[in-house]
Structure 1
């Protein structure tokens, strides 16, 4: 669990992001919150590298996080969003075969940060995609998919264009939204790491790079030992159509997304019930 003072600072940044109608200001506050979370994660990693007691007290864990109910359509895009956030916060993820839950592997504070970010952003993703569909902007667009056609003795794969359906538009929109969020958070993380390493270079030390490398190795080893996952999770099925228009709309929404939920890490926010 994060330090209460740190949580207060992150919460203040998130409230500022929510309180502004300026897209660039919202992004600035959101990225500041991610940089703060990253800085705290670096501090813990460096402390563990120098203090055996701290290393013993904070170890990687695995935690199951519910994504949605079995049978709901579109859970893969929810998982994609969770994985994108996890990647920016040093957390590895295994995905259930039906995408109803994930297993997160990492340090407790990092997993807390991922869940906090996800609980806000998944609500925004669903709301933004609902608004896109209600606007009717997807109507008149097409979706492309690769299909196999049988021409007598020979089969060939061709690209087929069909009118863009609402479900395909939603999936493409949410996929692009998740991808954009992942890029934004990763940029903020890298900026925080670069700042920490530049400060150390000025002081002729190199603790951060070593600590982060050791942390990555430790999490990878823990995941290898604990994970029972088989195969590789895919974010989309082969039958899903591709829509450039819907993805552009989702990317724009991902750029505008803001974090406005205070990190109450002791309670989990209910996920949207309308999936698909």
Structure 2
């Protein structure tokens, strides 16, 4: 059975022929062979930088809930093998969707398991950003600041009044910028404070436009992004305090954008709606970037001592990015096919809560 599994994964025998062979073989032998191969594959990826939420997202994008559930189970089982597990890893595992209530039949389970094994084999090792279970890592964040920002953004997302939402969002960005400035000034001589990176999921549809929104939020908060469309995430490079703010703000602004887009989109025409949404999100990202940068500049204004500090930090962030991604290309901009969508997106960005 182990040989059949290896041959299917390597392409030595066809997928359907391999699946047929596993289907009629003794269940205990098949389960041992498939289970062992999957454990090895998960071990390679988890130790090779993949976090539970990231791996679940990239597999869930394939549209097979059984495969996604197998990833969630594997991540939880992998963490239980170790006494030392980073809290961020535990939080991600706890946040994964529960398995479907209806258990798949054996043929479906074999098919999904074998298919999952082939998908896992195609994934590359990536940079370790959260220490995998069995290693020790720390994460320094200002929980009080983050809670205040979360509270403001929650109000922005819940209100039905655009002006009120805008005020909350603006206040959140102001708080993020102020905290970033404070952290920059107090960490100048602390060697342990270094730029880092975090991967943030960018889901379909309209991944390119969503990645542009994330980049706009990042640039306004002293960070840089690299989008990996085939893997379903962008890597945000910056200092921890800045990345925390970027992640919170991006998530909230996306919620606000989707709500405004659903309210303003045309009632008929599939092609028209698609063009409207894409143009809406492009305009929204551009205008949000302008507004966030304006708030940040206002916080920096009048503090001459801060400019060389921020310049030095930006050089450090770029250096880390270059080491992680020595070769990158600029993403092509999206076409604007709907003036209606563009104008609606700009207006929604003007109404969006930045605090």
CA distance in 1, matches of 2:193, 2:338: 45
The secondary structure found in structure 2 opposite 1:165 is helix
Equivalent residue number for residue 238 of structure 2: 106
CA distance in 2, matches of 1:245, 1:28: 25
Unaligned runs of 5+ in 1: 140-162, 198-205, 261-276
Q: 1:209 aligns with which of 284, 290, 307?
A: 307
Equivalent residue number for residue 186 of structure 1: 293
CA distance in 2, matches of 1:243, 1:207: 45
TM-score (norm 2): 0.55
Contact 1:82 1:118 in 2 (8 A): yes
Structure 1 position 64 matched with structure 2 position 176: no
Q: How many pairs were matched up? A: 216
Q: Any idea what the Cα deviations from partners look like across 1:145-189, whole Å, max 9, x if unmatched?
A: xxxxxxxxxxxxxxxxxx962211110011111212111111111
Structure with the higher strand share, 1 or 2 = 1
Q: Any idea what the Cα deviations from partners look like across 1:17-43, whole Å, max 9, x if unmatched?
A: 456655444323322221221111111
Unaligned runs of 5+ in 2: 1-139
Quote the offset at 1:117 in angstroms: 0.8
Equivalent residue number for residue 170 of structure 1: 277
CA distance in 2, matches of 1:9, 1:215: 25
CA distance in 2, matches of 1:126, 1:18: 11
Structure 1 position 253 matched with structure 2 position 348: yes
Structure 1 position 84 matched with structure 2 position 216: yes
Q: Any idea what the Cα deviations from partners look like across 1:216-246, whole Å, max 9, x if unmatched?
A: 111122222222443211232xxx4522221
CA distance in 1, matches of 2:311, 2:327: 24
Equivalent residue number for residue 232 of structure 1: 330
The secondary structure found in structure 2 opposite 1:95 is strand
Equivalent residue number for residue 44 of structure 1: 183
Contact 1:35 1:189 in 2 (8 A): yes
Look at both structures and tell me which one has the larger radius of gyration over its CA atoms. Answer: 2
Quote the offset at 1:15 in angstroms: 4.9
Q: 1:127 aligns with which of 259, 277, 296?
A: 259
Contact 1:76 1:99 in 2 (8 A): no
CA distance in 1, matches of 2:290, 2:150: 22
CA distance in 1, matches of 2:245, 2:300: 17
CA spacing shift, 1:33–1:223, aligned 2, 3 Å: same
TM-score (norm 1): 0.70
Structure with the higher helix share, 1 or 2 = 2
Q: Which has the higher contact order (CA 8 A, sep 6+)?
A: 1
RMSD: 2.5
